[in-house]
Structure 1
Amino acid sequence: MKNYVPIWLLAVFIWGLVSCSTRENQTLDLSKAVILVSPQIAGSMQETVSTILVEEIEKRSTIPLELGNGWESDTRIALALATDTVLFRKTVPSRAGSDAPEQQDEGYRIFHEFDEAGNTLWVIGADTRGILYGIGKLLRTADLSEGKVALSRNIDFSESPQYALRGHQFGYRNTANSWDAWTVEQFDQHFREQVLFGANSFENIPFQEVGSSPHFKVNPQQMELELSRICEKYDADYWVWTPAPRDLSAPGAPQEGLQKQEDFYARVPRLNAVFVPGGDPGDNHPSELIPYLEDLSAVLHQYHPDAGIWVSLQGFNEEKVRYFFDYLQTNNPDWLAGVVNGPSSPPVALERELLPEKYLHRFYPDITHTVRCHYPVENWDQAYALTLGREPCNPQPEMYTRLFNRDSPHTDGFITYSDGTHDDVNKAVWSQLGWDPGKDPETIVREYTRFFFGAELAEKAALGIFALEDNWDGPILENPDIEKTLALWKKLEAENPELAGNWRWQQLLMRAHYDGYIKKRLAFEKKLETEAYAILAKADSIGADQAIEQALQRLQKVETEPVSQDLKEKVFAYGEMLFQSVGAQTSVEKYGASGAERGAILDFIDYPLNNRWWLEDEFEKVRSLGSEAKKLARLDFIQTYEYPGEGSFYDNISSADAKHVTSKTDDAIDFLWENNGINRKRLSTQLFQFTPTLSYDELDPNSDYLIRVSGYGEALLRANGQRLTPTKYEKGYEEFKEFPLPKELISDGKLEISFDKPDEEHLNWRQQSRVTDVWVIKQ
């Protein structure tokens, strides 16, 4: 019998050959390209641009491309300025008109040209920065792998940035959770990578004491100079954040500040801007601050004539804001370059409206923190806030794209606030949105993963980053994606062992395992607490002391029978890797983090996720009560705290799973931070809002209700718009206010609760009244 090849199989084979051939025809092979560099690129930048291109390609492909000075090779990568007419006697492609992106400041064009001499990939920049950004786009989109350097044929892409200022703060100081351990070489590479993603400015925090960080490998005064030199190398602006002396009215304080600044100005080779925050820190009145800034400008211009003085109005009250803008309108000073809008500044849109047009407006967004900050994580489960805390690895491309496009249009650009490597994805997102606010975050993240993890892994790793952001959306126990995210990253880890030493890879893997561990712990500890309450419900029959003992034994299973220790061990392993690779300080004791809030996520990985600590303290109080009746009454109150009975309702005000709360906090100060994070209060007491709103539609209009409120300070409660009179009004933590609810207000079974804000603007937010728990109790 003859062996026939099925027609369908032959068709598939032919299609495959055609497909491969088509892909090859669409791909430009640059593995043997010669790099040509315009002689018109000024000074050392000629070497910088060629070095970046050669080194970054070789890192990813192991192919060392060579430099040339002619057109002998049939494949070239040509780096030219838009003002060049010829490059080594060959015409440089140009487009008519002056509106082409490569003719705008920092703009570039990547263009594939094929002619009788072969293939040329042109990178044409409006200036040297434009060439750098064109190289960045090439490296972020090329197919670079072992023995391969390729790009799509017929590419013709160009862009120029929408925002003139695009940068990040890198304060070489102890409070940074990683880069205070860096060498000059590490900063050089990192600044290079930031430039390749579109940044053009870096801000340092000088004047650090020599022994202020145990991790310093370089004298901080020397690093101040080195960072300036690195900025000069990559043609990036060098900014410094330098608060004024706290009290400028003190004798000699302005002179002391001016002398300190002058010594610094005289030493650094490049300095483009000096930012003096008006607050955080600093609480000087603008009548004192403005003369100091004017004198500072005169000193600055002696050494750096083109540098500018910038100031923020952070922490300014209405009178200070009015004084400042009245001064600008009246005096129109030329010594001021612009105003910086940061956390606790006036609203960004209002500030831009008040600022005279001649002054620039810089944004100072906090992309590094998760709670008690400028941009808190939205709808974040308390279990994450208690454990991951304020500075975990926090890739949030979707959230920051939305916030960027909400706030940045009121500014001329940004230098973000950052205190570590944990927000690395966010930096790339902000830098790229500074070029094109309409850019899809998926495209940005894919370019990020392609550049740092390789072309073949780009898509999967990008999905993994978005999955990590999804892990943080809403109540943990209702989020099925957390296990899927962990499984995805475990698979990526197993399939890509060559990335084990990559610090960006390490911190993403650490987050996936940490999130998975927290979900396992939360489910387990919630279950233990529920079982403990069930035991307390039997106290009438088994006795108060016996009920306490049994409940404690149940709660302590978290230590005697801990869950998912394999995940915990992996998290600690990544902590060690990150300390070795990038100096990440994920523990105060183990790795020398400067404080519990500064990325020390290992120190809180086993923080109680139920009310175990509070219950232990309450049980001690119950044991000291004089009679069994009192003990039983208190135990009954404890076990029914969140379960007020059928037809009644309870809400932990800022919990992600609160059922009736309709308000959201606009800042993550709703997580009470005490005693370096070791807080033994009820979990609900650690979450609050100042003026929450709640909505109910299931009340019985024929029943009497009592509204109970816990919190701190005042609680000016309204029910369906009517202010209620309390019958009990205690103001301390875990004390209660009680308001009888008139039946006529709920004739339709619906209830809206709101709170008037007391006049407490003179108080720090930590002393202001807040609400933590609300009950609507059917009588």
Structure 2
Amino acid sequence: MMELQIIGMERGWVGTKGLLTQAIIFILLIGMPSALNSQTMDLSASKIVCFEKKDPLVLKSISVLREEVAKRTQIELDRTNKWPKDNHPTIIIALAGKLEKIPQEFREILEAMPDISDEGYKIVVVEKSKMVIAVGKDPRGVLYGIGKLLRKMEMGPGTILLPSDLKIASTPKYPIRGHQLGYRPKTNSYDAFSVSQFDSYIRDMAVFGANSIEIMPPRTDDDVSNVHMKLPAVRMIAEQARIADSYGMDVWMWYPNMGSDYSSPDSLKLEIDERRKVFRAVPRLDHLFVPGGDPGDLDPDELFKWLNTQAKVLHEFHPNAKIWVSPQVFRPTAKWFEAFYEQVNKKYPWFGGIVFGPWIKTPIAEIRARIGPDVPIRRYPDITHSLSSQYPIPKWDLAYAITLGRECINPRPTDEKIIHNAFDQYAQGSISYSEGTNDDVNKMVWSDQDWDPNTPVVETLRDYARYFVGPKYTEGVAQGLMALEKNIRGPLLTNDGVLRTLQQWQKMEQGASGDVLGNFRFQMGLIRAYFDAYQYRRLLYETQLEQKARQHLLLASKTGSRIAIKSARETLSRAWEEPIMAEWKKRCYQLTDDLYKSIGAQLTVAKYFAAAGRGNFIDNIDLPLNDSMWLLDQLSIVEKDSDENGRLLKIEQMLHRTDPGPGGFYDDFGSPGSWIRVVADHSWDEDPGGLSTPRVSFGVGLKGEEWVHEITAKGFDGQATPLSWMNQVTSLYDRPLKIVYDNLEPKGTYIIKVAYTGRFQSKIKLTAKNILVHDFIKTGIQPIYEFQIPPAAIVDGVLQLDWTCGEGERGSQVSEIWLINDTNQN
């Protein structure tokens, strides 16, 4: 087998004492997928040799190896502290500083490999001696070396195989690598976990290189308990901390400011007493993360005064713990940020660093420039949400936004690597924002990227498939997960690859054992394959039905309005009266049941008591994918007109709703074709969070509705809304939204009709080439506005429209534009 050599030099990060640390990651040979392995070593009859007798993490790591091998192979590997006397297959586990009992010839092999640093490891297979040697720089390095070993093993009943030319020396690039495991009702599965399930899941994350978990206190912006929770929250977070500590992992806690008044002595006492109870309950706590907002909203001076008070309480129980804070605020102002960064740079002894997470206005590069070089940054990436989030799926098709929703099962391996690598140089690693197991693939990708940003995504996915599902599925599941990501890219109507993705998963399903079919990781990929294909076929079907219904209405002047309306209604109603692909929908429901049984995943509200608008995407499985709701509402209005001519006129107006007239332009920013008019200073790869570049958003958000959990059919005066109102081009905060029209009539007269819909209700103004079109107005009150374009703005035939928000607003959102040529209308 050919050697694969990858040598990567870390870009460097700034340590807490201001020293520039450099680490080199050497990966000399990565185990290749089983289909390509020409040689393997059989370890089925091997023994584990380890001379370490006292270190608890080394001993725990050996237990991990033995238990995970036994789980998959039913082989109990014996452990001894004596060097084997014969040529017997052996796995040697050791600490780098304690190699004196290993024969010189093997030490020389290890010494010839590149050096490793903290948490690093070396793994080498010495085929002629039937030896596998795994050496950790420190006890954590032993754990991660064993994790890598497990990931490369091909394990099945009675079988343990390992590539015979495996040779790795690796050190993690970033010191913070972890994921949030909040035990609260809002999550889509964690709230149903037992203690043993948390142990298993935390172990899985350690196998993929994570060294931290983040827990939550009992009181957050959520209920205290629900029907799923096995233990009271304060007891479960104590168990989570204990489990993490047993794996040598750091414990973080996300603790929002939920108090009503942090200046009142009485209110402050309640907050302090609560924290004292929580901090006392957890056996380990290394870092406390307090968000500046979302939830909570304190002035920076008051915030840091409160953090100073918290530090004293925290240090009563965890004297070395640090407090980290994020500049996270929904409606930020320049004054707020100035005060915040002034506080950050005061160098409080308890201060740990800055957290960069969702809804932070300042780009991470700018934050790095504004804080002292000795202040570390930790990323807090939202890997769990697909829309209305820190890193939404770019230009997502509305059909998926409507059905898969905000918190679906969402493997995005390629996207996550791009997002990670766009900004990793500014931080010391990350602990992800997660709301459950829906983002399981994304977790492992982030951990691998935090370990080495040069790791190919497919390598992580092959390890994921081999280790979690089985070596038989290494390539099938790895490529199947990549295919699921391709399913959600671009317009769904033309994505015939969705059906091939289902066929690939069905083929694996047909030959799968009961264990594989009961494996939640296989189930998650399978349900998405069925769900996506079902939505693809429904979209084709419902799009065709809508066009047929519109054709009936176009003939209304010949057939009569009432006959046309009746025919249109009957055609549209076939979507639910004569549904298609019922077997695929049925399979989705079966897998919904299976996932609840296997991992506690709550994909529906009624049956499994999911938090509404979160992970319950199965509830959306039959939401309309065409404009039938709006059309049917409009037809009800048309029918109330007692005059035939009046009805025909209303039908014509309805059918021509998007017509801008001769010489005019119409754009629906849910359509990819309309995005050619949007000015973007950066590509998505450069700015995946959309802090400087327009992004797509979803939700109607009219009549003062501040938060849209799901895409809804009703939105204004109780009437159904057109699909085009359900997504928008969005520019966050006070970043200008620029849209350009060219080839206009230079001396023409134009009117702009614009639809302001979306989640945000912001004060926005519109200018054209710096000429005011309208001053600040509050959006969300009515959907459509109409304004005259100043003639001076189009004298060269080009019209640049600029929307901006006032300070502290959420952003500018536009769903539709009609640019009407009014030159010859009078």
Is TM (by shorter chain) over 0.5? yes
Match of 1:708 in 2: 753
TM superposition shift of 1:276: 1.1
TM norm structure 1: 0.89
Asked if residue 83 in structure 1 is aligned to residue 97 in structure 2, the reply is: yes
Name the SS for the 2:293 alignment partner: coil
Q: Name the CA distance, whole Å, in 2 between partners of 1:409 and 1:415.
A: 15
Asked if residue 679 in structure 1 is aligned to residue 713 in structure 2, the reply is: yes
Aligned counterpart in structure 1 of residue 168 of structure 2, from 157, 174, 177: 157
**Alignment check: 8 A CA contact 2:627 2:723 kept:** yes
Q: Name the CA distance, whole Å, in 2 between partners of 1:716 and 1:230.
A: 53
**Is the deviation greater in 650-659 or in 293-302?**
650-659
- In structure 1, the gaps of 5 or more residues are 1-22
Match of 2:319 in 1: 305
**Alignment check: 8 A CA contact 2:679 2:740 kept:** no
Asked if residue 760 in structure 1 is aligned to residue 806 in structure 2, the reply is: yes
Asked if residue 557 in structure 1 is aligned to residue 574 in structure 2, the reply is: yes
**Alignment check: 8 A CA contact 2:48 2:79 kept:** yes
Match of 1:547 in 2: 564
Q: Name the CA distance, whole Å, in 2 between partners of 1:455 and 1:470.
A: 24
**Alignment check: 8 A CA contact 2:300 2:343 kept:** no
**Alignment check: 8 A CA contact 1:246 1:284 kept:** no
**Alignment check: 8 A CA contact 1:246 1:281 kept:** no
* Alignment RMSD: 2.9
Match of 1:405 in 2: 421
TM superposition shift of 1:217: 1.3
Asked if residue 367 in structure 1 is aligned to residue 414 in structure 2, the reply is: no
Name the SS for the 1:689 alignment partner: strand
**Is the deviation greater in 203-212 or in 348-357?**
203-212
**Alignment check: 8 A CA contact 2:399 2:625 kept:** yes
Match of 1:579 in 2: 596
TM superposition shift of 1:535: 1.8
**Alignment check: 8 A CA contact 1:372 1:667 kept:** no
Q: Name the CA distance, whole Å, in 2 between partners of 1:530 and 1:723.
A: 41
**Alignment check: 8 A CA contact 2:556 2:563 kept:** yes
Aligned counterpart in structure 2 of residue 195 of structure 1, from 206, 212, 223: 206
Change (3 A) 1:489 1:743: farther
**Alignment check: 8 A CA contact 1:654 1:670 kept:** no
Q: Name the CA distance, whole Å, in 2 between partners of 1:66 and 1:90.
A: 24
- 1:75-127 CA-partner distances (Å, limit 9, x unpaired): 2101100010323788862689899443x110000012356xx3221110011
Match of 1:18 in 2: none
Asked if residue 468 in structure 1 is aligned to residue 484 in structure 2, the reply is: yes
Q: Name the CA distance, whole Å, in 1 between partners of 2:102 and 2:754.
A: 79
Q: Name the CA distance, whole Å, in 2 between partners of 1:62 and 1:251.
A: 60
Change (3 A) 1:609 1:669: same
- 1:628-662 CA-partner distances (Å, limit 9, x unpaired): 44332221111122355676542211334546443
TM superposition shift of 1:28: 1.8
AA aligned opposite 1:411: A
TM superposition shift of 1:391: 0.7
Aligned counterpart in structure 2 of residue 213 of structure 1, from 219, 226, 243: 226
Matches within 5 A, 1:60-99: 60-70=72-82, 71-72=84-85, 74-87=88-101, 93=107
Match of 1:5 in 2: none
AA aligned opposite 1:308: K
Asked if residue 737 in structure 1 is aligned to residue 786 in structure 2, the reply is: yes
- In structure 2, the gaps of 5 or more residues are 1-35, 681-689, 715-720, 731-735
Aligned counterpart in structure 1 of residue 147 of structure 2, from 136, 159, 171: 136
Asked if residue 505 in structure 1 is aligned to residue 551 in structure 2, the reply is: no
Q: Name the CA distance, whole Å, in 1 between partners of 2:792 and 2:289.
A: 59
Change (3 A) 1:573 1:530: same
AA aligned opposite 2:634: E
Change (3 A) 1:153 1:547: same
Q: Name the CA distance, whole Å, in 1 between partners of 2:603 and 2:533.
A: 18
Match of 1:12 in 2: none
Q: Name the CA distance, whole Å, in 2 between partners of 1:55 and 1:730.
A: 60
Name the SS for the 2:607 alignment partner: helix
Name the SS for the 1:591 alignment partner: coil
Asked if residue 55 in structure 1 is aligned to residue 67 in structure 2, the reply is: yes
**Alignment check: 8 A CA contact 1:380 1:656 kept:** no
TM superposition shift of 1:387: 0.6
AA aligned opposite 1:304: H
Name the SS for the 1:275 alignment partner: strand
**How many corresponding residue pairs?**
742
Match of 1:633 in 2: 649
AA aligned opposite 1:334: P
Change (3 A) 1:744 1:262: closer
**Alignment check: 8 A CA contact 1:85 1:92 kept:** no
Asked if residue 451 in structure 1 is aligned to residue 467 in structure 2, the reply is: yes
Q: Name the CA distance, whole Å, in 1 between partners of 2:722 and 2:38.
A: 66
Q: Name the CA distance, whole Å, in 1 between partners of 2:106 and 2:53.
A: 13
Q: Name the CA distance, whole Å, in 2 between partners of 1:613 and 1:25.
A: 59
Change (3 A) 1:711 1:754: same
Change (3 A) 1:97 1:122: closer
TM superposition shift of 1:233: 1.0
Aligned counterpart in structure 2 of residue 127 of structure 1, from 138, 154, 171: 138
Q: Name the CA distance, whole Å, in 1 between partners of 2:383 and 2:530.
A: 22
Match of 1:566 in 2: 583
TM superposition shift of 1:214: 1.1
Aligned counterpart in structure 2 of residue 172 of structure 1, from 173, 183, 192: 183
**Alignment check: 8 A CA contact 1:685 1:733 kept:** no
- 1:747-775 CA-partner distances (Å, limit 9, x unpaired): 7xx64542331x43344x3xx65321123
**Alignment check: 8 A CA contact 1:471 1:481 kept:** yes
Aligned counterpart in structure 1 of residue 156 of structure 2, from 137, 145, 149: 145
TM superposition shift of 1:47: 3.3
AA aligned opposite 1:708: K
**Is the deviation greater in 709-718 or in 49-58?**
709-718
Q: Name the CA distance, whole Å, in 2 between partners of 1:288 and 1:741.
A: 47
Match of 1:347 in 2: 363
Q: Name the CA distance, whole Å, in 2 between partners of 1:93 and 1:423.
A: 41
Which of the pair has more CA radius of gyration?
1
Asked if residue 772 in structure 1 is aligned to residue 815 in structure 2, the reply is: yes
Between the aligned residues of both structures, percent identity stands at: 34
Aligned counterpart in structure 2 of residue 230 of structure 1, from 243, 253, 259: 243
TM norm structure 2: 0.84
**Alignment check: 8 A CA contact 1:535 1:550 kept:** yes
**Alignment check: 8 A CA contact 1:82 1:94 kept:** no
**Alignment check: 8 A CA contact 1:86 1:92 kept:** no
- 1:427-452 CA-partner distances (Å, limit 9, x unpaired): 00000001101111111111111111
